Structure 1
Amino acid sequence: MTLRARSLAIAAVAALTLTACGGSDSTDGSADGGDGSAADGDVVTIYSGRNENLVGPLLEQLEEATGTPVEVRYGDSAELAAQLLEEGERTEADLFFSQDAGALGALANEGRLATLDESLTGAVIDGYADEEGHWVATSARARVIAYNPDLAPEVAEMTSIDEILDPQYRGQIGIAPTNASFQSFVTALRVDRGEDGARDWLTRLQENEPRIYERNGLILDAVDNGEVALGLINHYYWFEKADEVGLDSITAQIHFLNSDDPGALINVAGAGILEGSEQSEGAASIIEYMLSEEGQQYFTDETSEYPVVDGIELKEGLTPLAELQGSSVDLNQLDSLAETLALLEEVGLT
């Protein structure tokens, strides 16, 4: 996607610019293979900003468990949110399954998400549902610094994201500025430090000549093979790689800042029901399953994310959320995506 196209998509989310992308990067499908066995009126249509490889098996699982047939359109969370704004009441979507809280907040602010039943919003740990009840988290993930201990062992002692701005890391930092997770971090930075503070931080990062990658996984690979000394990613990419190659075959390590710092943002994936959906009951049953023991166990076992419901057995190596001190930024404030993208372009990172 071009920068221009992505700018329009995010502007549509945050600034009511109704110039949205046409969803050309999305793919339509259904969790049951799209055999059309269910009547159209019974099907819950999901717009999913979460990757099909990550959540496709879960959607198949919940379809069988709830008896609710689903059809899924996959794509970028910001693009799909922009499309939902453009479609308005004409949308065929019943449920929005977002990669991050920002896109959910943007839709909620424009009145496009219905109020969820308290049985759903009250099922999660405090702070992991919209205060107005328009969306609820389904899993959580922490921003971490991936580092190569042979090149930058001192990262293990860092407590502030400012420490990576040291000139010693010039050309040795990996980032993915077009990725939604990095953009959420920048939004948290803006909320925490204001526009001028965020601009200063990003300018200093740009002056340190970071290496640009398309995805978190590519950053981790670069750290692991010594191409860069450190990189900014979500925690679960490390666990996925460790599962894939084995602990003895991975050099890179990850460090959570464990402080009230934008670099220690704990963001969420979440879901909301579209206002006016004729399948709201079925959509609610899908969210209920995602928050059930089976659904939450899937997120920790299969995607290495944090469960947002108490009492779920964590994947080995994950620290309980209650023991992490993360950024105090309210997730509901991560909805100013257009401003974040504009700032990234201004400082030359996109």
Structure 2
Amino acid sequence: MASSLALAVSACGGGGETAKPQDNGGATPATPATTQPEAQPAASGDPQKLVIYTGRDKNIFEIVLPKFKEKYPNIEVETLEMGAQQILERVRAEKANPQADFWWGGTQSALATAANEDLLEPYKPTFSDKVPDLYKDKQDRWYGEMLLPEVIMINPQAIKKEDAPKDWDELLDPKYKGKIVIRNVLPSGTMRTIYSAMIFRQGADTPDKGYDWLKKLDANTKEYTQDPTNLYLKLDRQEGAISLWNLQDVLLQSKKNNHPFDFVYPASGAPILVDGVALVKGAKNMDAAKKFYEVLFSPEVASVLAKDRFQFPSRTDISKDDLPDFMKNLELKPLQLDWDVMASKEKEWMQYWDENIKGKGGK
């Protein structure tokens, strides 16, 4: 179904993960490009088209897309929702015949992998110098749109905040056994980043210590839910009291969707996931994609998303007056990570976790 705000395939992504069914996370091959209708460049004078593969949610679309349509009414936008890992698999499968123009909502690891596989088109946007080097590709193949600190998520009705874990290692305390519920890891950019970070901090050269850490966490984990919706439901029902999640979505679910959620910012620091964007190499609607790039990162849109959707913008020139109070005062202490190593090792680490650790920590 195609329309200016078409929502075709629903699945889980990185930031703002809400009410999305599970994607395959790369467990099965993405649909080959030959089975999909081939996108064609717009002829001169015809309405332009823009195809976006996205890990973002409808609550973000309803802010951004109308602003884009207001500025460019002649561009028809089609969005297909899926998880960050699934986007990578699909763009990879379609390399010879790209069907997407713009990748909106990808983890740093997924985008770096795509860049290294020559799947992304370099583009230096007008705001390039406003985004720190830490949050963009050196060759301008992707840019971080927002920062997603990964935190300890709790239901304070099920566990008092003062009794909740204050840092990552406290999650392994036996007193939390059966109180932790985790969103299924492999399809989720958020969870893959958290778990990879936990391995890295124990020593990336010899991941055995990291695997042991995850095995202890698995022993305390009551359940892995298939998608974010089920994660929220388990916490709502107090079938679990603790989880690991991105800060933006914790705030969004508690302040906008009335879930009884709160967070603990880990004392040693948080993996700060860069949720980014990129142009697909060989895109058939490159001009429209570049226009969307600029609108998405505009100070106007960034400030609205910060206030209404709790997004931490990557741009450093957004006025503090245009940010919500909690964002002005919260220190985003980063966990020290080598993101290049994380990108190169993530697939190996997560496959090992899935095959050798998941559901076996208590055995």
TM-score when normalising by structure 1: 0.80
Q: Specify whether residues 339 and 116 from structure 1 end up closer, same or farther in structure 2 by C-alpha distance, changes over 3 A only.
A: same
User: Is 1:137 aligned with 2:144?
Assistant: yes
**Which residue pairs with 1:213 in the alignment?**
225
Contact (CA 8 Å) 2:247, 2:263: kept in 1 or not? yes
Structure with more of its chain in helix, by fraction:
1
Contact (CA 8 Å) 2:108, 2:276: kept in 1 or not? yes
Contact (CA 8 Å) 2:49, 2:77: kept in 1 or not? yes
**Which residue pairs with 1:172 in the alignment?**
179
Tell me whether 130-139 or 310-319 shows the greater mean CA deviation: 310-319
Q: Specify whether residues 145 and 229 from structure 1 end up closer, same or farther in structure 2 by C-alpha distance, changes over 3 A only.
A: same
**Which residue pairs with 2:277 in the alignment?**
271
**Which residue pairs with 2:255 in the alignment?**
243
- 1:120 Cα deviation (Å)? 4.1
- 1:1-350 correspondence to structure 2 within 5 Å: 6-8=25-27, 20-22=29-31, 39=46, 42-67=48-73, 68-117=75-124, 119-149=126-156, 151-154=159-162, 158=166, 160-178=167-185, 179-193=188-202, 194=204, 195-216=207-228, 218-244=230-256, 251-260=260-269, 264-310=270-316, 311-312=318-319, 313-319=322-328, 323-335=331-343, 336-345=345-354, 346-349=356-359
- 1:334 Cα deviation (Å)? 4.1
Question: Could you tell me how far apart the structure 2 residues matched to 1:155 and 1:146 are?
Answer: 13
Q: Specify whether residues 209 and 118 from structure 1 end up closer, same or farther in structure 2 by C-alpha distance, changes over 3 A only.
A: closer
Letter in 1 for 2:358: G
For residues 100-122 of structure 1, give each alpha carbon's deviation from its aligned partner in whole angstroms, at most 9, with x where no partner exists: 22221111010111212153432
Question: Could you tell me how far apart the structure 1 residues matched to 2:280 and 2:338 are?
Answer: 23
Question: Could you tell me how far apart the structure 2 residues matched to 1:300 and 1:3 are?
Answer: 27
Q: Specify whether residues 291 and 118 from structure 1 end up closer, same or farther in structure 2 by C-alpha distance, changes over 3 A only.
A: closer
Letter in 2 for 1:206: D
**Equivalent residues, number:** 320
- 1:316 Cα deviation (Å)? 3.8
Question: Could you tell me how far apart the structure 1 residues matched to 2:210 and 2:292 are?
Answer: 38
- 1:314 Cα deviation (Å)? 2.1
Q: Could you tell me the percent identity over the aligned residues?
A: 21
Unaligned runs of 5+ in 1: 10-19, 29-37
**CA-based RMSD:** 3.2
Q: Specify whether residues 236 and 190 from structure 1 end up closer, same or farther in structure 2 by C-alpha distance, changes over 3 A only.
A: same
TM-score when normalising by structure 2: 0.77
Unaligned runs of 5+ in 2: 1-10, 12-20, 38-44
Question: Could you tell me how far apart the structure 2 residues matched to 1:168 and 1:78 are?
Answer: 34
Tell me whether 301-310 or 49-58 shows the greater mean CA deviation: 49-58
**Which residue pairs with 1:13 in the alignment?**
none
Q: Secondary structure at the match of 2:239?
A: coil
